[in-house]
Chains A and B, each alone.
Chain A
Amino acid sequence: MRFAPTGVNMKTISAIIFPVLVLFICAFTLPQQSGLKASKDRGKVVYDTYCLACHMQDGGGAPRMNPPLIKTKFVLGDKKKLIGIVMNGLSGVEVEGEDYSNVMAPHNFLTDQQIADVLTYVRNNFGNKASAVTVAEVKAARPKK
């Protein structure tokens, strides 16, 4: 890092501002990023165990059997609906104009944390970019006993 020492004032100012800036960045961005990364990492484990068999390693699915998870309106769209698909399963619904003849079973045996993680992973992988899914959002979507 190089600062042109044009004067004491400049030096002092940067000496104050810089650490503050760094602190600011650390306080907000880093934890958030590492939170996202941790969730994605946990989500990958859930995905490989419970979703990969049908939606494949690259999220590309299997033609006419299982739909892709790449930029579909379900993956990128309303989170409540998306959580509902994982919890309740899906069958007989067109995805991006194609019919898929396999059946996605309910995955309501997954914990709130696992569902949040796997959907955060899916929404930020396979070329997708969308906000994380939180445990609170999953909890809110789960039917009350």
Chain B
Amino acid sequence: MSIFRQSFYCLMACLLTLSACAGDTTKVATNSPVPDPDNGGIKLPAGFGGQIVADKVGRVRHIFVNSNGDLYAKLEKLKDGKGIMRLRDKNGDGKFDETVGFGNFIGTGMAIKNGYLYASSNTEVFRYKLNEKNEVADGAQPEKIITGLWDHHQHEAKPFTLDNDGNIYVTIGAPSNCCQVQDRVKGSPGQSPCPILDSAGGVWQFKVDKPNQSYAEGVRYATGLRNVMGLDWNTAVNSLYVTQHGRDQLFQFYPEMYSQKEGAENPSEEMFKVKLGSDCGWPYCYYDYTKKQKVLNPEYGGDRTKAGDCGSKEQSIVQFPGHLAPNDLLFYTGDMFPEKYKNGAFIAFHGSWNRAPEPQAGYFVVFVPFGKDGMPSGNWEVFADGFAGADINRATYRPCGLAQGPDGSLYISDDNQGRIWRITYKK
């Protein structure tokens, strides 16, 4: 018996040593993460724990965690003159205890790929080379790879994602609600064709390593997307997935067609799987959450039944209630969470502003299970909730960014107070 036990211990020790050595040689927090007793004030499914790992970082939009555990946060407003914050956990308790700022521009997009950190302003994308220590080599001298994208003070953020073949996919949001002749003016007709679509209202593809690319060098990869805030390259099926913010003001402009409640729930916020050339329908079509169908927008002659050629547009693969504002999308590839989460999608909902006088909604992180075919395999469910606090109409925290840690934990950022949570699962 004891010789069995001895060899068992020996084997375990060998395995532990092996796995410790096989990982990234750069620093990874060695202590197992300890969730806060109240899970950082948010509600999570059983078995998951939440920990507030940073607070008051600034208006944190998208985030990315490097292979060594450093978290990079892109800020929408400069803090102490800096637009990017690097957070580091020096003592391995999970909480970040060192903050270093660099980059003098505001923006949303943030990612690391193949030795470079990428960050976007509202008109440009920059990249910073990482050095042999896995750190940004020179925070003052990024390469400008993309420039001159539209910023017309509406849907101006430029979130992005990267594939494995040297391409970067950048959102250029439409500075418009529904491409009316006069934006957001009741009764103003929709323009057809919509001239905005030449320069915005879609996702553009650029090369990661060419300086100063603009419209002439880019490819309009997918169009008919009003404003995409969440986009992720799903490596399981090598495809781009996006989440769109749908149009506003259906009830305010067409009270004869929509009740107040229908206006609050329409149109659906949609998730698309897109390929080169996809046309997702904006501004001509929208997905009617009540009728469960893609139909013509009333600005284009729609009456909630007429579908025009909306049937020939790219159809969304998941639909959510209106105005919840899906601000980030992340396909989970980690091993920490249970099997059902593998290759499924997390979506951070920023929460609504345009459901009044109905109560506002959103302010949560949702999970959508995915099958091996890269299509949803079940209904979406709320994963993390309670960010808004006591008054849903005056949300305290607003989920905006998602990132996966090297150990498979999930990070959630808030751009209202600058709080960051880390979600872990205890096997």
* CB <8 Å contact, B252 and A50: yes
- In the bound complex, what is the Cα–Cα distance between A49 and B394 (angstroms)? 22
* CB <8 Å contact, B154 and A91: yes
Contact of A103 among B183, B354, B356 (CB under 8 A): B183
Give per-residue flags for A101-136: 1 if the beta carbon is below 8 A from chain B beta carbons, else 0: 111111001000000000000000000000000000
A26 within 8 A of B: no
- Name the interface residues of A36-67: CB closer than 8 Å to any CB of B: 48-50, 52-54, 56-57, 60, 62-63, 65-66
- In the bound complex, what is the Cα–Cα distance between A87 and B422 (angstroms)? 47
- Name the interface residues of B143-188: CB closer than 8 Å to any CB of A: 153-156, 175, 182-187
* CB <8 Å contact, A91 and B354: no
- In the bound complex, what is the Cα–Cα distance between A48 and B187 (angstroms)? 18
A92 within 8 A of B: yes
B68 within 8 A of A: no
With known contacts A105-B183, A105-B184, A57–B153 Cβ distance under 8 A? no
Query: In the assembled complex, which residues on chain B have CB atoms less than 8 Å from the CB atom of A56?
Result: 356, 393
With known contacts A50-B252, A56-B393, A101-B156, A106–B353 Cβ distance under 8 A? no
- Number of residues of chain B lying within 8 A (CB) of chain A: 22
A6 to chain B, nearest CB (A): 58
A48 to chain B, nearest CB (A): 8
- In the bound complex, what is the Cα–Cα distance between A65 and B248 (angstroms)? 13
With known contacts A101-B153, A103-B154, A54–B186 Cβ distance under 8 A? no
Query: In the assembled complex, which residues on chain A have CB atoms less than 8 Å from the CB atom of B186?
Result: 50, 109
CB nearest to A63 among chain B residues: B416
B75 to chain A, nearest CB (A): 13
CB nearest to A92 among chain B residues: B153
Query: In the assembled complex, which residues on chain B have CB atoms less than 8 Å from the CB atom of A101?
Result: 153-156
B400 to chain A, nearest CB (A): 11
* CB <8 Å contact, A57 and B182: no
B249 within 8 A of A: yes
- In the bound complex, what is the Cα–Cα distance between A135 and B320 (angstroms)? 44
Query: In the assembled complex, which residues on chain B have CB atoms less than 8 Å from the CB atom of A103?
Result: 153-154, 175, 183-184
Query: In the assembled complex, which residues on chain B have CB atoms less than 8 Å from the CB atom of A52?
Result: 356-357
* CB <8 Å contact, A53 and B184: no
- Name the interface residues of A88-106: CB closer than 8 Å to any CB of B: 91-92, 101-106
Q: Summarize A's interface: helix, strand, loop or mixed.
A: loop
- In the bound complex, what is the Cα–Cα distance between A109 and B252 (angstroms)? 14
Query: In the assembled complex, which residues on chain A have CB atoms less than 8 Å from the CB atom of B187?
Result: 109
Interface centre among B183, B186, B252, B356 (most CB of A within 10 A): B356
A-B contact count (CB 8 A): 48
Q: Summarize B's interface: helix, strand, loop or mixed.
A: loop
B403 to chain A, nearest CB (A): 22
CB nearest to A48 among chain B residues: B357
CB nearest to B122 among chain A residues: A101
* CB <8 Å contact, B182 and A105: yes
Query: In the assembled complex, which residues on chain A have CB atoms less than 8 Å from the CB atom of B154?
Result: 91, 101-103
- In the bound complex, what is the Cα–Cα distance between A66 and B252 (angstroms)? 16
* CB <8 Å contact, A66 and B353: yes
- In the bound complex, what is the Cα–Cα distance between A105 and B182 (angstroms)? 8
Query: In the assembled complex, which residues on chain B have CB atoms less than 8 Å from the CB atom of A105?
Result: 182-185
B179 to chain A, nearest CB (A): 13
A135 to chain B, nearest CB (A): 22
- In the bound complex, what is the Cα–Cα distance between A63 and B184 (angstroms)? 19
- In the bound complex, what is the Cα–Cα distance between A50 and B186 (angstroms)? 9
* CB <8 Å contact, B354 and A106: no
Give per-residue flags for B10-36: 1 if the beta carbon is below 8 A from chain A beta carbons, else 0: 000000000000000000000000000
- In the bound complex, what is the Cα–Cα distance between A40 and B354 (angstroms)? 24
- In the bound complex, what is the Cα–Cα distance between A109 and B182 (angstroms)? 12
Query: In the assembled complex, which residues on chain B have CB atoms less than 8 Å from the CB atom of A106?
Result: 182, 185
Query: In the assembled complex, which residues on chain A have CB atoms less than 8 Å from the CB atom of B357?
Result: 48, 52, 57
- In the bound complex, what is the Cα–Cα distance between A68 and B120 (angstroms)? 29
Query: In the assembled complex, which residues on chain A have CB atoms less than 8 Å from the CB atom of B356?
Result: 52-53, 56-57
Contact of A53 among B182, B252, B393 (CB under 8 A): B252
- In the bound complex, what is the Cα–Cα distance between A56 and B3 (angstroms)? 74
Query: In the assembled complex, which residues on chain B have CB atoms less than 8 Å from the CB atom of A54?
Result: 353-354
Query: In the assembled complex, which residues on chain A have CB atoms less than 8 Å from the CB atom of B155?
Result: 101
CB nearest to B106 among chain A residues: A99
* CB <8 Å contact, B354 and A53: yes
B355 to chain A, nearest CB (A): 9
Query: In the assembled complex, which residues on chain A have CB atoms less than 8 Å from the CB atom of B153?
Result: 91-92, 101, 103
29 inter-chain pairs at a CB distance below 8 angstroms, sorted by A residue, are A48-B357, A52-B356, A52-B357, A53-B249, A53-B251, A53-B252, A54-B353, A56-B356, A56-B393, A57-B356, A60-B394, A62-B353, A63-B416, A65-B353, A91-B153, A91-B154, A101-B154, A101-B155, A101-B156, A102-B154, A103-B154, A103-B175, A103-B184, A105-B183, A105-B184, A105-B185, A106-B182, A106-B185, A109-B187
Given contacts A63-B416, A105-B182, A109-B185, 18 further A-B contacts (CB under 8 A): A50-B186, A53-B248, A53-B354, A54-B353, A57-B356, A62-B354, A91-B153, A101-B153, A101-B154, A101-B155, A102-B154, A103-B153, A103-B154, A103-B175, A103-B183, A104-B184, A105-B184, A109-B187
Residues of A in contact with B (beta carbons under 8 Å apart) = 48-50, 52-54, 56-57, 60, 62-63, 65-66, 91-92, 101-106, 109
